[in-house]
Amino acid sequence: MSSGNSTEKRILSLWLPDWPVYRLARAVQLDPSAPLALRGARQGGERVVALNKEARGLGVSRGQLLTDALAVASGLRVHGEAPHADARALKQLSDWCGRYTPWTAPDPMPVHEEPDGIFLDITGCAHLFGGEARLVEDLMSRLAAFGLPARVGVAPYPGAAWAVARYGARAVTLVAKDKVRAALDPLPLSALRLDMAMVDDLARLGMKQVRDLHTLPRAPMVARFGKVLAARLDQALGRASEPISPDMPLVPFRTRLQFAEGLMALTDIEQAIRLLSDEMVPLLHQADQGARRLELHLFRTDGMRFSIDVGTSVPSDDGAQIAALFSERLTGFGEGLEIGLGIEAMVLHVTAADPIAHTQADITEVKKSRLKRRPADLGFLVDRLGNRLGFDRVGRFEPRESHIPENAVVFIPAVAGIRPLEEEREPHDWRVEERQRVGRPLRMLPCAEAVETIAEVPDGPPRQFRWRRVTYHVARSEGPERIAPEWWRHRNSSQGRAHVRDYYRVEDEQGRRFWLYRDGLFGRETANPKWFVHGVFG
């Protein structure tokens, strides 16, 4: 037995014998000490598909016809199987195991048809708990508190960990890298995750333990049993790789806190978030990275887990700002924050990071505005708004080379980053020649809206127009400002040829001002030009 080296690969296989039965007992408050069995439709009729040790003590066995089981054990309590509920609950338990490592996944190779195990990659994580033995002890004690019997195997390879968890002599088996073969040799061949038909065929040849396969030449083994037998043996011994996809992406930046007693107060949780964020900063600094996306996982004392995620518009290594973003999200939950009986562990992940740009402090910053001196403040404001409203709803407008008003600016989402202000740039000279003075509205409509108009002459300004079922009488008008179509953008367009626009600034008798345009030149481009409202002033 060994605790293993923290630098070598270490896989923990968690096996939950009779998981479907104990999952049901926990879900519907059944007495787990009573003889329980689950039934399911199989070949030949309804059979026992899962049972607990109390039912086995009465002579009931897996695969037995239900009628025979009831004849043997009249006090047997039988319930229908629910494989989908079992799988969902196992996934939740796998998420809960994220308190120990970000790398967790339900076992893809259960002993029986029902899911009954979880893989955890605890490489580099055991020292946080005082070693592998302490980590496993903590895991087993918490599962026991949930009423879940469990067995654990830890080894350098998933196949070896799986084997000793299910067929080892002890409930907990830790195997060092140089002891893998010795740990596997006395185990039955079913420990290699072989189907029972192959195990029976091998038994007829006198091979019943893993050690018996070492004397069998590889070529006859493959010829007789196919590649799967050799592959399973190689995987268990580490001679072949075995990729297993984790539930969550592997993250290089991770901090965690565990509490002796569950946290109940929001202020305590916020303080813990600040500690996690502060511990994250040196990890980011070492890699010269800034966080762009973070996830906070909160583990309740009852085994449930919930997560909160935040994003940043620019790479951030500011622990205070990261903590503030999570605090705002927590505050936003209000009465809906389900702390339950308390939060016993918290884990902070950076799921996306970018290189951070370092800037030189300006010696003349006393002359700058606060926004110029602290450009991060603008980014923090965008982060707060983005996490509340969504980053796709927060952004900035950037100019675009186009005379068409709706194309003259483009909306850039905040997630694209915040550019520093350029205060040294000469202010724009908004003065234009008198003949070009046709003002732009303070508010431009997202899409120009058609209106009905009456004009004195076809190519003149309107005297009256009807917009949104209201008639407006024009008292004054100014224009036109003529904007020609951008033929180079529309020459391959399927929407047809664009028209010249004549824009007018008009004011009605009540002093309300509008920005209208006529689409098309009368008599040259169209016989019936259409009018549109494109914006309003004031």
Residue 526 DSSP code? B
pLDDT of residue 372: 46
> Does the structure show a pLDDT above 50 at 173?
yes
Give the mean pLDDT of 456-466.
92
Band the pLDDT of 322: cuts 50, 70, 90. very high
pLDDT of residue 304: 79
Residue whose token pair is 């010829």: 223
Percent of the chain with pLDDT over 70: 85
**Residues of CATH 3.30.1490.100 domain(s) within the chain?**
254-355
Band the pLDDT of 364: cuts 50, 70, 90. low
- Helix, strand, coil share (%) of the chain residues, nearest 5: 35, 30, 35
pLDDT of residue 513: 94
The DSSP line for 137-170 is: HHHHHHHHHTT---EEEEESSHHHHHHHHHHSSS
Higher pLDDT: 216 or 21? It is 21
Give pLDDT tens digits for 36-70.
999 988 888 899 999 999 999 999 999 999 999 99
> Does the structure show a pLDDT above 90 at 132?
yes
Q: What is the pTM of this model?
A: 0.60
Taking the C-alpha atoms of residue 46 and residue 48, their distance in angstroms, rounded to an integer, is 7
> Does the structure show a pLDDT above 50 at 456?
yes
Give pLDDT tens digits for 256-281.
888 888 898 888 999 999 999 999 99
Percent of the chain with pLDDT over 90: 43
> Does the structure show a pLDDT above 80 at 419?
no
> Does the structure show a pLDDT above 50 at 518?
yes
Higher pLDDT: 372 or 277? It is 277
Higher pLDDT: 110 or 131? It is 131
Q: Which of 37-46, 135-144, 406-415 has the lowest mean pLDDT?
A: 406-415
Higher pLDDT: 487 or 86? It is 86
**Residues of CATH 3.30.70.270 domain(s) within the chain?**
11-17+82-237
Q: What's the chain's length in residues?
A: 538
Q: Which CATH class is domain 11-17+82-237?
A: alpha beta
Residues 6+ apart with CB under 8 A from 434: none
pLDDT of residue 333: 61
> Does the structure show a pLDDT above 80 at 375?
no
Domain 254-355, CATH: 3.30.1490.100
